[in-house]
Structure 1
Amino acid sequence: MTTARLNRIAAAGTEGGYRRIRFADGCMITVEAQPDATEFTEVALWPGLTAPSTDAWANEDQWELNLTDQAGEGRSLFVDVPVDAVRALIEEHGGEHADQDEDLPATRHHLSPRSATGIYRVHLDGEAIGRIIRHDDYWLATPSRGESRRSFDYDELDEAAAYVVQEADIAAGRATRAAHDLRQALALYGLTAHRGEDVLIGGCVLSWLGVGSGDTSREPDGDKAYLNIYFSDPTDGDEVTVDRPARASDQWVIELNSGTGDSAQGPSFPGLDAAAVAAYVAQWHRDPQAVWNNAETQQLA
């Protein structure tokens, strides 16, 4: 029996607040947890629920309910309840109800319960596609499918899981990386782009595609005019990448370099319009100086 909401709440924590879980039979609980929880700091049982007579439910605390005037509502409050004990209670009542609060964004994936070593397996369409583990104050995500299988740190649990799902989609052919899409578009003009990267402290990878003004089958050497291309999501920080699928909110960025140390910013293009980027690069490749002069003029305007 899958307890997807419980697993997600226990992993992500409740951010200092509370989350409600509705059971299949209509009973409800409210829980509070820190990230990567093996115990819920508080579990409130709503009317109609009785706690099992086990050590896991031994720490009842009616004082706080009395303090907040909730005792008369027929609730009972327990502290430091193991997550596994709460899961067992949910399963006794038929599992989780399909209708839950809309306080958590819907996801295609679900997480397995936390293992004894702190691992959360990520599942998609019934298949395990990777794992997430709490590392200091970050989530370390490692896909089990994909060409690179690199591990990355994320601030948020959902971001870590989204990376694992992304790699599974790419491996299954449901999505392609932006680098692939742009290379395909450039190939129509007989041009080749070369991937470059820079790994920052903490493991963050900046990636881009470089195109030289001469023979593009060779990597740009920096002594002649070249350009670097990448995209980022303006709503999501200072990302520099070509390694994930493009989104509608992304913008392609083109940096022109003179080969003598000067640089200029080219126009930006929508993230889903690799064809427009390729057309601009082809125009630049035909006459780098003319495109450079136009870019400088636009920057000074």
Structure 2
Amino acid sequence: MDDPSRSERPDLLLAVDLAPSALDQLGALCTLHQAVTPEARVALAERIGGRIRAIVTNGTTAIPASLIAALPNLGIICAQGAGYEGVDCEAARARGIVITHGPGVNADCVADHALALLLAALRDVPRFDAAVRAGQWREGGTARPSAYGKRVGILGLGGIGRRIAKRCAGFDMEIRYHNRRAVPDMAWAYMPSVEELCAWADFLFVALPGGAATRHSVGRAALAALGPEGFLVNVGRGTVVDTAALVDALSTGGLAGAALDVIEGEPDVPAALRELPNVVLTPHIAGRSPEAMAAAIEQVLGNLTAFFAGKPVLSPIPAPT
């Protein structure tokens, strides 16, 4: 993607794949150098590391301290979407590098997908679809639970969690949530622990960010509390749920079903998880819609434009607590 006119535009390392329209928009502002694997990024840094002034990435792609150190003129890292756990923020801050993210740009899309996942798992839509395509009609079919009036636990009441809750309210579901701390002036009841939330709920939506602080927040105790009639939906990060514990619960009747858009260790999905009939899987696409992707790249462009103009960026990541 090198361009003869690159001297007029700052050089940008693109660590992820983007749609052609997004590439065109970024290319109008910067000279793009795409490297979507760790090995490609290392090779690029060795070749032209001194020219790179910006990185565009996503929440899960690793931008380690070693890569940051190999880019002496790096000034800004832009993560699409709300997450940024793949970025070594401590190393970036030590250099005075600006880090931005995209809170809220795909929240409605993720919430829509979360409800679609719940309904697909709850009503066993994938299995019934496959049966009809195979020429069957109610052969061996069983009655499936409904969503109306159930109790919903939201783990992580941020922008996505709140939108999930509002959609669940349309099904006349009762809603409670758990965060690190209670949200002031919130209509929904706060539960002091994940296990207590699971013991109360019929369905648990996971909308937590990734990282060490949230790893395996949903483990064996939480899944046991959710129980044999419970359903789990994860649209946060795969690392939040203990996959081994989830497979055990699903395969032994300890949990009725699960629906996952994010999976620990993705894109590698454990065979034990793929083979279970009571789990619905999608490939981390909850936040991908034309509207959400357009909003995400627009925010990235806004942050880059502001930075290169010497102005405050639009969406810096929160200061560490």
TM, length-normalised to structure 1: 0.21
Using CA pairs under 8 Å that are at least 6 residues apart, name the structure with larger relative contact order, 1 or 2.
2
| Larger Rg belongs to | 1
The structure whose residues are more often strand, as a share, is: 1
TM, length-normalised to structure 2: 0.20
